[in-house]
């Protein structure tokens, strides 16, 4: 039998998606279903004084007084209301919910909010409120700076970014018995489950959450679905009928989360030979109006802020700040793309200040096995920062091109980056994720709450289980994530679905296989009947993490990448065209090379958008360009040629050596592209690098 792992087997969901048969939330229809609509605040800060409408009895209307449990979207701080009571903290905050059988009638219904505006805070640096502060300290900064021949400082900024999953957020709530079922486009069914239990309290006998086929997530369907599911459930309970609540593109862009804008300041001491001796980093994230996931985004941001470099004296101080804007939230990379943009552009500026080749500077300081990170974690043999750097330089022809293109309108630049796999520190231990493998009449079935959102979860999990069981891939089925059926395997986030949940499944499959005593699953099912094995996450014994002091093993392991970007600058329009990105990536083991390549290609292009095109324009705390006409993501004509190279330095703790992959590719493109622009003599320290910004940099340097 051919093994499945390491082969690009057919996707489990390939044919359904290629024929249009796959069912997404908006494709489902339930008997007597109503359509839902959300009435939202228009001011960024103030007080709700009243609501006026003249809606007839054919409308279902819900406000905060109709919430049977607690009026919060349960997550970390429970500070965000599901519906505004009095205080308005941001524009597009949900106030009133309507449902009606006829969509046109619903959309044309007149509702007026009486809002008393107060003075908002938009600048995170002026905000009086920090949601979270983090301090990472290693060595003594003064001692480090005392050794420095040169100190280089800089401030770097990144803008907000929209997820632009092509399927907007949407759910359908369906009363069933005395309980409620919610079907929807979601990444984390158990997050939604927990939020609904808090919101609905004793009003329901049970809550069930079922993932429908999901048209992209990228973090945008991590925490927000708890809000929209709550709204649909409240309407459905009031109407006693199913309610479909699907956002159109504009509402999705106005109301749902975005990538945190950031300001990062570096002060770095180096010796003449290019050794980093002191790194002082300040990280500021704009959290928006409620805590949501900002503390954990800040955590990952600060933990990656020093880049994949060795340095004895490091201080990283981070804070996530309140502002009167819609809450920013999870987005692929989760703080790390912001802080690694800063450190990687800063590295090129250090190289310039030293008169040193930026590759040599990185090679000298890149983390090696046995080195310690800023939190004091000792890295294992799978640390491959220098290997990816060297491979990327070689494969891209970086040195030759850099030399040949000097003085032309072509530029080339590079970035070296890393990404921790799984939840931070003891996060995985607290999650205590579970996953099940059970016998069926034809093979086995996987039961997890890990969601397929495009990345290939079903396929990759089935490969791991097939090989661990020693059975053909075709004999492995994957259950639909339905909280009434599957155990809580934790959320589908943090580059954890392969390494962490895949690892649990591998152990479950091995234990089930041992119980079969040589019988095939189908034969065992006939003889023994149903049999299921559930395993729970077991933390490697060596992991130590001090949450108070931010010391220890921040992640079980890290994946590494290096991007080389080639660009052409048009000095008439100041547009930068990305020509090619060489992406060398080490994920330990590519369980499915074509899926892994697809993650890298897709993440890289999202990174190109983040770097060059995607600009969220805010006016008085609201998104001014909430449509795809003027918020631009890369089309086929905006993307560079991509050369993806996979390296494999296996991590012994991952299934078949695999590490996390999903987020890593978006960390590298922005700094590589800006460093390519820098090679043309333009000192750019903020993205998106739209023509206006490039022109300003050109004017400043001339």
Partner 1 sequence: MRFLLNGVEVTPEAPPMARLLDVLREQCGLTGTKEGCGEGECGACTVLIDGEAVCSCLVPAAQVEGAEVTTIEGLGDDHPLAHAFMDEVGAQCGICTPGMILTATTLGPRPSLARIREGLAGNLCRCTGYEAIYRAVRKAT
Answer for the pair 169, 218: CB distance below 8 angstroms, yes or no.
no
> CB-wise, 117 or 628, nearer to partner 1?
628
> CB-wise, 168 or 427, nearer to partner 1?
168
E strand or H helix at 77: none
> CB-wise, 19 or 126, nearer to partner 1?
19
Tokens of 597: 């390549």
**Nearest-approach distance from CB 398 to partner 1, in angstroms:** 21
Answer for the pair 264, 156: CB distance below 8 angstroms, yes or no.
yes
Residue 467 CA to residue 473 CA, distance in Å, equals 8
Answer for the pair 59, 99: CB distance below 8 angstroms, yes or no.
yes
> CB-wise, 508 or 595, nearer to partner 1?
595
Tokens of 444: 């086995």
Q: What's the burial of 580, exposed, middle or buried (CB within 10 Å: 0-12/13-18/19+)?
A: middle
> CB-wise, 588 or 662, nearer to partner 1?
662
For residue 357, count other CB atoms closer than 10 A to its CB: 13
Q: What's the burial of 603, exposed, middle or buried (CB within 10 Å: 0-12/13-18/19+)?
A: buried
Nearest residue to 332 via CA among 477, 455, 479, 243: 455
Classify 487 as helix, strand or coil.
coil
Per DSSP, 620 falls in state: T
**Nearest-approach distance from CB 259 to partner 1, in angstroms:** 14
> CB-wise, 24 or 30, nearer to partner 1?
24
**Nearest-approach distance from CB 10 to partner 1, in angstroms:** 6
Q: Under the rule (CB under 8 A), what is the footprint of partner 1?
A: 8, 10-11, 13-24, 26-27, 163-168, 213-218, 248-249, 453-456, 594-595, 597-598, 601-606, 627-629, 633-637, 639, 642
Residue 379 CA to residue 276 CA, distance in Å, equals 18
**Nearest-approach distance from CB 438 to partner 1, in angstroms:** 27
> CB-wise, 506 or 604, nearer to partner 1?
604
> CB-wise, 436 or 585, nearer to partner 1?
585
> CB-wise, 302 or 563, nearer to partner 1?
563
Residue 380 CA to residue 375 CA, distance in Å, equals 15
Residue 540 CA to residue 422 CA, distance in Å, equals 13
Nearest residue to 671 via CA among 304, 334, 359, 344: 344
Answer for the pair 502, 460: CB distance below 8 angstroms, yes or no.
yes
**Nearest-approach distance from CB 22 to partner 1, in angstroms:** 5
> CB-wise, 15 or 432, nearer to partner 1?
15
Tokens of 365: 């300081």
**Nearest-approach distance from CB 106 to partner 1, in angstroms:** 14
> CB-wise, 20 or 57, nearer to partner 1?
20
> CB-wise, 374 or 476, nearer to partner 1?
476
CA 236 to chain CA centroid, Å, is 30
Terminal Cα distance for the chain, rounded: 66
**Nearest-approach distance from CB 589 to partner 1, in angstroms:** 18
> CB-wise, 528 or 617, nearer to partner 1?
617
Q: How far is CA 392 from CA 4, 351, 560, 581, 647, in A?
A: 29, 18, 12, 10, 11
Classify 261 as helix, strand or coil.
coil
Residue 582 CA to residue 569 CA, distance in Å, equals 19
Beta strand segments in 387-544, E: 410-420, 434-439, 444-447, 476-478, 532-536
What is the β-pairing status of strands 179-184 and 207-211?
parallel
**Nearest-approach distance from CB 477 to partner 1, in angstroms:** 18
**Nearest-approach distance from CB 641 to partner 1, in angstroms:** 9
Answer for the pair 565, 673: CB distance below 8 angstroms, yes or no.
yes
Nearest residue to 459 via CA among 436, 477, 447, 441: 477
Tokens of 648: 């494999």
**Nearest-approach distance from CB 617 to partner 1, in angstroms:** 17
Beta bridge partners of 352: none
Peptide bond into 371 cis (omega under 30): no
Answer for the pair 433, 190: CB distance below 8 angstroms, yes or no.
no
> CB-wise, 139 or 607, nearer to partner 1?
607
**Nearest-approach distance from CB 397 to partner 1, in angstroms:** 20
């Amino acid at each position: 039998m051919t093994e499945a792992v390491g082969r690009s087997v057919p996707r489990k969901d390939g044919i359904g998606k290629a024929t249009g048969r796959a069912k997404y939330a908006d494709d489902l229809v339930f008997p007597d279903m109503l359509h839902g609509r959300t009435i939202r605040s228009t001011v960024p800060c103030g007080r709700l004084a009243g609501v006026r409408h003249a809606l007839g009895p054919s409308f279902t209307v819900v406000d905060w007084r109709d919430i049977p449990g607690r009026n919060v979207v349960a997550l970390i701080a429970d500070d965000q209301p599901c519906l505004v009571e009095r205080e308005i903290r941001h524009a597009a905050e949900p106030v009133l919910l309507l449902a009606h059988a006829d969509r046109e009638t619903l959309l044309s219904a007149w509702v007026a909010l009486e809002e008393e505006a107060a003075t908002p805070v938009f600048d995170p640096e002026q905000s009086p409120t920090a949601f979270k502060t983090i301090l990472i300290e290693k060595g003594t900064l003064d001692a480090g700076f005392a050794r420095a021949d040169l100190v280089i400082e800089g401030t770097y900024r990144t803008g907000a970014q929209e997820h632009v999953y092509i399927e907007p957020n949407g759910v359908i709530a369906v009363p069933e018995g005395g309980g409620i079922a919610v079907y929807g486009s979601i990444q984390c069914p158990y997050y939604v489950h927990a939020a609904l239990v808090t919101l609905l309290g004793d009003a329901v006998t049970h809550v069930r959450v079922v993932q429908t086929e999901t048209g992209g997530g990228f973090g945008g369907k991590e925490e927000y679905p708890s809000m929209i599911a709550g709204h649909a459930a409240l309407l459905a309970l009031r109407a006693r009928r199913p309610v479909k609540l699907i956002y159109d593109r504009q509402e999705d862009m106005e109301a749902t989360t975005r990538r945190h804008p950031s300001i990062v300041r570096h002060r770095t001491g180096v010796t003449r030979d290019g050794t980093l001796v002191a790194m002082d980093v300040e990280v500021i994230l704009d959290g928006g109006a409620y805590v949501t996931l900002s503390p954990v985004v800040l955590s990952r941001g600060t933990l990656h802020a020093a880049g994949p470099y060795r340095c004895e004296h490091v201080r990283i101080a981070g804070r996530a700040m309140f502002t009167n804007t819609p809450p920013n939230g999870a987005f692929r990379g989760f703080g790390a793309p912001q802080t690694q943009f800063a450190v990687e552009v800063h590295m090129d500026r250090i190289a310039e200040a030293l008169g040193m080749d930026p590759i040599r500077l990185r090679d000298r300081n890149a983390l090696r096995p046995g080195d310690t990170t800023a939190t004091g974690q000792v890295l294992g043999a799978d640390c491959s920062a220098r290997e990816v750097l060297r491979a990327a330089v070689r494969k891209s022809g970086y040195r030759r091109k850099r030399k040949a293109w000097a003085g032309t309108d072509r530029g080339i630049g590079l970035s070296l980056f890393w990404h921790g796999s799984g939840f931070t520190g003891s996060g995985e231990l607290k999650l205590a994720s579970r996953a099940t493998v059970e016998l069926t009449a034809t093979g086995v079935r996987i039961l997890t709450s890990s969601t397929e959102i495009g990345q290939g979860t079903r396929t990759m999990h089935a490969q791991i289980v097939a090989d661990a069981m020693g059975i053909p891939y075709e004999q492995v089925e994957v259950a639909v994530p339905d909280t009434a059926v599957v155990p809580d395997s934790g959320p589908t986030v943090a580059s954890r679905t392969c390494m962490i949940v895949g690892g649990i499944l591998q152990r479950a499959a091995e234990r089930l296989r041992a119980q079969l005593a040589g019988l095939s699953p189908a034969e065992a099912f006939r003889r023994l009947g149903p049999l299921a094995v559930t395993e729970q996450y077991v933390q490697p014994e060596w992991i130590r993490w001090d949450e108070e002091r931010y010391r220890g093993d921040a992640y079980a392991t890290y994946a590494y990448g290096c991007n080389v970007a080639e660009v052409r600058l048009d000095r008439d329009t100041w547009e930068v065209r990305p020509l090619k990105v060489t992406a060398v990536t080490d994920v330990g083991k590519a369980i499915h090379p074509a899926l892994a390549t697809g993650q890298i290609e897709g993440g890289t292009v999202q990174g190109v958008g983040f770097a060059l095109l995607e600009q969220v324009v805010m006016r008085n705390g609201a998104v001014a360009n909430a449509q795809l006409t003027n918020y631009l993501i890369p089309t086929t004509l905006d993307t560079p040629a991509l050369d993806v190279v996979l390296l494999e330095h296996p991590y012994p703790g991952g299934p078949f050596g695999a590490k996390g992959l999903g987020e890593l590719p978006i960390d590298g493109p922005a700094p590589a592209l800006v460093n390519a622009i820098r090679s043309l003599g333009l000192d750019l320290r903020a993205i998106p690098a739209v023509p206006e910004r490039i022109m300003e940099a050109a004017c400043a340097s001339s």
